Every structure is written in C-alpha cells, then in structure tokens.
Chain A
Amino acid sequence: MELDPLLLSRIQFAFVVSFHAIFPVFSIGLASYIALLEGLFYKTGNPLWSRLSHFWIKIFAVVFGMGVVSGIVMSFQFGTNWSNFSYATANFIGPLLSYEVITAFFLEAAFLGVLLFGRNKVPPGTHLFAAGMVALGTFISSFWILATNSWMHTPAGVELQDGIFQITSWTEAIFNPSFPYRFMHMGLASFLTGGFVVAGVSAWYLLRGRDVEANRKALSMCLWLLLIIAPAQAVIGDYHGLNTLEHQPTKVAAMEGNWETQNGVPLLLFAIPSKETQSNSFEIGIPKLASFILTHDMNGEVPGLKEVPVAEQPPVALVFWSFRLMVGIGVLMILFAFAGAWLRWRGQLYDHRFFLRGMSWMIGAPFVAVIAGWFVTETGRAPWLVQGMMSHSEGLTPSLTGAMALFTLIGYITVYAVVFTAGIYYITRIVKAGMEHDESGDTDEVERPSRPMSAAHIPFDKPATPPTSG
C-alpha cells in the first residue's frame, strides 16, 4: 500500500494537538482555582484553603508539565509536516505565536517556579502574586493561540499575493469574526473542566468520608460556579454556531447532517450520514427544530452540504457525531449543575451518595467534550486549512515521504502513551493519598524530607491507606 504523507500528517497533527489540548483546558481552569485558594488563604488565614491549595498544586504541577512538553512539540509541528502552510501564513501566524511566547509562556514558566518551589523563599503576598501571574499567563496564551486558530476558520485582514498571505489589517486579522465566540467558548470550557474535576474529586473524597470539611467547601464552590457557566456555555455555543452559519455554512450543514438547502429542517437526534449516497439513513429527528435554532424561524432556510462539490465536503459523519457528543455532554453538565442546586436547596448536597457518585463519574466528561468540540471545528473545516484560501494538500511539506510521516506518527504515539500512562498513574496516586497528610500548612515547612513532593511520607508506588476519618 502506498503510504500517503497527507493522510498520515493529518492523523499526526490531530493526534498531537488533541493530546496537547487535554492539558491546557485543565491547567487554565485549575490555575485560576489555585490563585483563588491562595487568595482566600491570604485573606482569612484559614488553613483549610492552604490545604486545598497544596493538594491541587501537586496535581497542577504534573498536568502543567505534560502541557509544556506536548506544547513544545506543537510549536514545531507546523514546520515539520506543514512547511508550505507555515511559509505562506508566516506573516500572520509567526508574530502571533511569538507574542504568545513572550507575553504568556515566559510569564507562566517563571512564576510557576516560584509557585511550586518558592513558598518558603518569598513572602506570602509574592507567592499569591505568582499564582495570579501563572493564571493570567494561561489566559494570555489562549488569547493568542485562539486568535491564530480562529483566523484559519474565518480569515480576515489578509490578501494572498503570489501564494503568500500579506497582512492588510492587524486588528481585523487578530479579532477575526469567529474569534470572540471561540475565545469565550474555550474559556468557559476550561472553567467547566477545572470545575468538574475539582468537584468530582471532592465528591469522591466525601463518599469516603475523607477530609470532609475541606471537600464540602470545594464541592460547594464548584457547584456554584458550574450552575452559572454550564448553561452559559450552551448559550455561547449557540451564538458560536450562528456565527459559523454565516461564515462556514458547510460546516454547520455537516453538524446538522443536512444535505439539501431547504426550509423547516428537523433537528436530528440520530442518523448515519453517508457521503457516498449523499444522504442519511435511520434518521430520527424533531421536526423544524434545527431551522428554529439556526434561524429563529420554524421554516427558516438552512444551507445543505450539496451546495459544495463532494470533494469540498468535510467528513460528515465525524463532524455530525462529534457535535452530538459535545452537546450531549453539555446538556448532561447542565443537568448535574441543576441537580446540585436542587440538592443544596433540600440540604442534601453532601449526603446524596448517588449524586456524589455521579459527580465523580463526570470527571472525564469535560475532556471528552473538549476533544469532540475541536473535532467538530477542525474537521468541519476540511478540506480547507485556511478556509476558502488554502487546502490541506497545498499546505503539506513537499519533501515529506509517507515513511517519514509514519515513523514519527508511531514515535509520538509510543512516547505519549508512556507519558500519559505514567501521568495518570501519578495523578491517581496523589488523589488516593489525599490531602490529609499534608498537614504542613504554611508555616512549619522549613525543612522537608528529601522527596517532599511525594507529599511527605506517602510512598506513591505502594497502595495508599485510606484514613478512617477526615
């Protein structure tokens, strides 16, 4: 079989960037949470906040580390596999990524050192400041990278001259039409991720009766947050979709599984779209709802996939199902947030085992939703790399052979599999060990044992012994 460098490069990019994306969404949310905890501790001096902060910083360190190393890979991916794309878009992408490095990455990296290791070396106020800077850095980082990415979906402020993108307006290019929606949607996604993970872990502890006071506080805080942002995410997502309808109608057609441009389009709950037959089988839908959502009119006209030649249609089934997965999880999140509010009102929040168990199962959900969302966005753009201006095949590295691409693809999969397994393993150990052992608070930590990071005396490679009470 002939190895296709284009296909292999697409798989490789999708793999490495999806792997990378798992970590930022979590570190963005968690960084803000840690800054908040540090702030509360600074203000109240209540050791409970400090304990929570110590605990989450340990997990943050692991997640952040994996985010950094996989991010470094990303910054070279454009050149190794997509050199024509890099060369053509460098006038725009180059400065933006560089700004990301100097405004965000240095900030995060420098203050991370102080956040992780500097507790006894700087005054508490400075330590709090470092936590704030790390959180700020993660946001600045997403600003630049999402501006870059949004521009690939809705290019603006540029013109093509001799195959090279030249900037005509920096503001138009950076604040391109899909950027505000993507930035908000992604920001909320990060907070949802942080919120569900912290809430889920706290629920898990509460089920086992461990460190009850701190975990009740954490769960309660998270649920207030989720109650606001889970519904907000659906609203923003709706606006995001409307904006996409305007700029990338084919992508929306794929999300809806809608082949013909027509009025009164149903919202499909289930279908098996096929590019071969250019139609769906096994459709189950709610009449006219898609038209209503997208045009706010029961009989509004929704564009269909057949508007463009088959070669310009994205992989419909993938977009269609990823979209349903993301929205499905979004709805589930709203239900959980509402259930939490209801139980709180009934005064059963901390004792409802079924709910707590559900919350701890939800830990994985935001990650799945995020990856699914990116698959909708990115595969929905296919065959374009820069919407309407440059295709995947035009962007590929000319000297790349199938064998080279396959070699590195297998390489990345192997390396990431090892790293990921180890990372999950250590994170699970930290969670199982819990925060009870970290009694150090903030004052008596002058000397620590030789492996203080292995949280004082807990051998992570042996089974942790759950304490009897909090």
Chain B
Amino acid sequence: MELIDLSLIWAVIIGFAIIMYVLMDGFDLGVGILFPFAPDEQSRDIMMNSVAPVWDGNETWLVLGGAGLLGAFPLVYSTFLPALYIGVFLMLAGLIFRGVAFEFRFKANRKRPWNWAFAGGSTVAAFAQGAVGGAYVQGFNTVDKVYVGGAFDWLTPFTVMTGLGLLAGYALLGTTWLIMKSEGHTQDWAYRITPRLLFAVLIVFGLISVWTPLVDDFVRERWFGNLGIIWVLPALALLSTYILWRAVRKRQEGMPFVATMAMFIFTYLGLLVSKWPYMVPPNYTIWDAASAPGSQLFLLIGMLFIIPIVLAYTAWTYWVFRGKVRADAGYH
C-alpha cells in the first residue's frame, strides 16, 4: 500500500469528476440561464430539446463528486456541507426546479411558469456553485476536523464575485453549445451574444485572479514563488479565449464550444494549483482528509473498470443525439 499514494490517485479522480460536472452540466445550466433572453418560444423549444436527453447524465457527475468525496475524502464532505449549508440548499432547490421543468414544460400549455422555473433554477444553482468554489478558496473555520463557523461565513463579497463569474461562464458554455446544436435565427442570436458574455467572463475572471493573491498569502506565495511553470495555465486559458473569439468571428460551429471548454479546464487547473495540496483549507491536506486506505482501494478497483465503460456509453448517447436540433425534433 505504501508503494502507491492512493490519496493522490483519488485527488485526481475527484478532480476529474468535478471538471466533468462543470463542463457537462455547465452547458445545460448555461442554456437555462440564457432561457429568458432567447429570441422566441421556438428557440426555447430548440434550447430545451438540445439538452433534454443528456442533462440527467450530466448531473450524475455531481452525485459522483459528492459520493466520491464521501468515499475517498470524507473530511471534505463532512466540513464543506455543514459550512455551506444554506448555499447547498439553494443549489439543490435550484436543481429541483430546473430538473422537473424539463418534464413539466413539455406537457404544459401554459409554459411561462416552467420557463421561469427552468431559468430561475439554473441561475440559482450556477450562482451557488460559483460561491461554493469561492468559499473553497476562502477556507473554512475548523477545529479538530469539525466545522465550527457560522451559517453565513461563506457569503462574502469574494464569493458573490465567484458566483457571478461562474454564472457568466456557464452562460458562455451554453451559447457556444447552442452555436453547435442550432441553426437559423437561434444560432444567429447565440453568435451575437457570445462575445458579450466572453467579455463579462474575462472581466470577472480577471478580477478574481487579481483579488485572490491579494487576500490570500498562500496563493500569492504559490504564484509568485519559484514555481514559474504554472504560469503556463493562465497563458493557455488566455489563448483559448483568443481562439474562441476568432472562431466566433469566423462563424465556426464546433470550435467555440471546444475553446470554451479548454478555457474552463485551464482556469480550473489554475485554481487547483493555487490551493494544492490543501483540500479543506487552510488546515487540512488531501492526506488529512482521506478515508481508510482499505476503503479507497476497494472503491478504486471498481472505478478503474467501470468509469471507462461509463464514459463509453455516455459518449455513445451523445453520438445518438448528434447533429442539429430542431424545435419539432421528436421529443419522446
């Protein structure tokens, strides 16, 4: 057991599950965030049809993130959730409303309420997730591995900023997804608003990047210490931004989405680098947060076999539903 660092492997797996979630549920939450701004009801039908067959699978990555943390790093699970109690509730309430909106909207004649449930739920959930990310950067007030802070410690100007940042980021994933999946006036609309959203994302991400090292000594030390190589990450993120911008100008269809995903991945890696190896900052590292090696191993064995299969059939379902979506393309 000493030969392989199970906690390290698990940190990678959990990191993978979280970014999978962010990318995949990101675009379908983004579609929800954009819902009220869609040009017309027909576009809304297209938007919803484009994510209806896959959103459930996308959200399952969130469940895997949660259950995986409980299995591999229970300390994260047992401190984050109490600390983020109210935020988690808001996120779940948001996810409930948007989840049922898929089913209910298609069966309703009066679609308005479900349009709002879908948009409102997506927006609240996205904001709450951004705030959770910010709270992680901020750190938690713990004593003896137990959270001892108050109910609203997580809600600060900084986390509001990260919440808004993720909101804009998800919306960007949403528009670029729509560029890929739609045509006609819906696609025109998506092309139009993408640069504006990109601009908003750049501003918020920029602010966060400046802000974090200022308030957090550890992060400053990490970035301005002697680890020059990590500057590759923000450089790549900026490069992706440029590619995205150019692709939209050239009205390419698939590239904007790919570039947005790349932007997310590099930003995310940058975030992880800032805090590594702390999992419950400021006190506990991935090794402090780990479950028993036997449990990590028991789960790892199954993971290594099953996750590739999951990825394979998930890819297959995306393949089944490939191509442009139309408002009248068979639902059920």
> Which residues on the A side are within 8 Å of B291 (C-beta)?
90-91, 94
B83 within 8 A of A: yes
CA distance in complex: A167, B293 (Å): 10
Q: Contact between B74 and A90 (Cβ–Cβ < 8 Å)?
A: yes
Q: Contact between B108 and A79 (Cβ–Cβ < 8 Å)?
A: no
Q: Given contacts A66-B100, A94-B295, A452-B330, is CB(A114)–CB(B70) below 8 Å?
A: no
B18 within 8 A of A: no
> Which residues on the A side are within 8 Å of B302 (C-beta)?
99, 102-103
Q: Given contacts A76-B92, A102-B306, is CB(A95)–CB(B71) below 8 Å?
A: yes
Q: Contact between A462 and B109 (Cβ–Cβ < 8 Å)?
A: yes
Indicate the size class of the contact surface on chain A: 35 or more
Q: Which of A79, A103, A423 contacts B80, CB < 8 Å?
A: A79
A1 within 8 A of B: no
B59 within 8 A of A: yes
Q: Which residue of B lies closest to A161 (CB)?
A: B292
Closest beta carbon of chain B to A84's beta carbon, Å: 7
> Which residues on the A side are within 8 Å of B63 (C-beta)?
71-72, 75, 101, 105
Closest beta carbon of chain B to A26's beta carbon, Å: 14
> Which residues on the B side are within 8 Å of A86 (C-beta)?
70, 74, 77-78
Question: How many B residues touch A, CB cutoff 8 Å?
Answer: 77
Q: Given contacts A113-B56, A117-B321, is CB(A94)–CB(B70) below 8 Å?
A: yes
Segment of A34-42, A366-374, A396-404 in the binding face:
A396-404
CA distance in complex: A72, B91 (Å): 11
Q: Given contacts A399-B148, A450-B45, is CB(A94)–CB(B74) below 8 Å?
A: yes
B107 within 8 A of A: yes
CA distance in complex: A71, B60 (Å): 11
Q: Which residue of A lies closest to B146 (CB)?
A: A398
Q: Contact between B57 and A106 (Cβ–Cβ < 8 Å)?
A: yes
CA distance in complex: A388, B299 (Å): 27
Q: Contact between A69 and B99 (Cβ–Cβ < 8 Å)?
A: yes
Q: Contact between B108 and A399 (Cβ–Cβ < 8 Å)?
A: no
> Which residues on the B side are within 8 Å of A462 (C-beta)?
109
For chain B, what secondary structure do more than half of its interface residues adopt (helix, strand, loop), or is it mixed? helix
Q: Which residue of A lies closest to B91 (CB)?
A: A76
Q: Which residue of B lies closest to A57 (CB)?
A: B332
> Which residues on the A side are within 8 Å of B306 (C-beta)?
102-103
A49-81 contacts to B (CB < 8 Å): 57-58, 61-62, 65-66, 68-73, 75-76, 78-80
Q: Contact between A448 and B330 (Cβ–Cβ < 8 Å)?
A: yes
B59-95 contacts to A (CB < 8 Å): 59-60, 62-64, 66-72, 74-75, 77-83, 85-86, 88-89, 92-93, 95
> Which residues on the A side are within 8 Å of B54 (C-beta)?
113
> Which residues on the A side are within 8 Å of B145 (C-beta)?
87
Q: Which of B57, B71, B99 contacts A98, CB < 8 Å?
A: B71
> Which residues on the B side are within 8 Å of A107 (C-beta)?
310, 313
Q: Contact between A451 and B106 (Cβ–Cβ < 8 Å)?
A: yes
Question: Mask for B44-61, Cβ within 8 A of A = 1, else 0?
Answer: 010000001110110110
> Which residues on the A side are within 8 Å of B62 (C-beta)?
72
Q: Contact between B314 and A167 (Cβ–Cβ < 8 Å)?
A: no
Residue of A78, A105, A118, A170 most packed against chain B (CB within 10 A): A105
Closest beta carbon of chain A to B60's beta carbon, Å: 5
A346 within 8 A of B: no
16 of the cross-chain contacts (CB-CB < 8 Å) are A57-B332, A62-B103, A69-B96, A72-B95, A76-B88, A86-B70, A86-B74, A94-B71, A97-B67, A101-B60, A106-B64, A109-B59, A119-B330, A122-B320, A398-B82, A407-B86
Chain B interfacial positions (CB closer than 8 Å to A):
42, 45, 52-54, 56-57, 59-60, 62-64, 66-72, 74-75, 77-83, 85-86, 88-89, 92-93, 95-97, 99-100, 102-104, 106-110, 145-151, 291-292, 294-295, 298-299, 302-303, 306-307, 310, 313-314, 316-317, 320-321, 327-332
- Top 4 nearest A-B pairs by Cβ distance? A94-B71, A79-B81, A90-B74, A113-B53
Chain A interfacial positions (CB closer than 8 Å to B):
57-58, 61-62, 65-66, 68-73, 75-76, 78-80, 83-84, 86-87, 90-95, 97-103, 105-114, 116-122, 164, 166-167, 170, 397-401, 403-404, 407-408, 411-412, 415, 419, 422-423, 426, 429-430, 445-454, 459-462
Q: Apart from A72-B96, A403-B151, A460-B109, list 15 A-B contacts with CB within 8 A.
A: A57-B332, A76-B92, A83-B81, A91-B295, A92-B295, A94-B67, A102-B310, A106-B60, A110-B313, A113-B54, A113-B57, A114-B317, A117-B330, A166-B292, A454-B108
